[in-house]
Amino acid sequence: MSKKWYIPDCYWHSHSEGDYFVSHEAVCVLNTTAADAVVSLTLYFEDRAPVKGYEVTVPAERTIHIRIDRIVNKDGIAVPKDTPYAIVVESSCEDLHVQYTRVDCSQDPLAICTTVV
């Protein structure tokens, strides 16, 4: 049996104020089990077909931060900037924990939002 998490409000800004902080999003996954877990991401858009093929392995008893500004899928497709989208996170491992965080540096002051999904 697989488990799914839904993150409906995603948006990666192309603009960042300053050089130290950059706008980005992250899907953080905690694996407390004794086995590695394969996690896949599917992106959904308002105006185009879903994009699949984003996949990472979360080692046993570890956490991984999937930086959306750095991930590409199996076809080399990066997540588009300045585009509203949603993410469905899937894993065959039931006992994972997922958190989504957005760092918005597009204006001063900076903003951060996060939620456990």
Question: Looking up tokens 């039931």, which residue turns up?
Answer: 94
Using one digit for the tens of pLDDT, what is the confidence trace for 71-80? 999 999 999 9
Q: Tell me, yes or no, if the pTM score tops 0.75.
A: yes
The C-alpha atoms of residue 39 and residue 30 are separated, in whole angstroms, by 11
The residue type of 87 is I
Residues of the chain with pLDDT under 70: 1, 16-20, 105-112, 114, 117
Homologous superfamily (CATH) for 3-15+26-98: TM1070-like (2.60.290.11)
The C-alpha atoms of residue 58 and residue 100 are separated, in whole angstroms, by 16
- How high does pLDDT run on average in the chain? 88
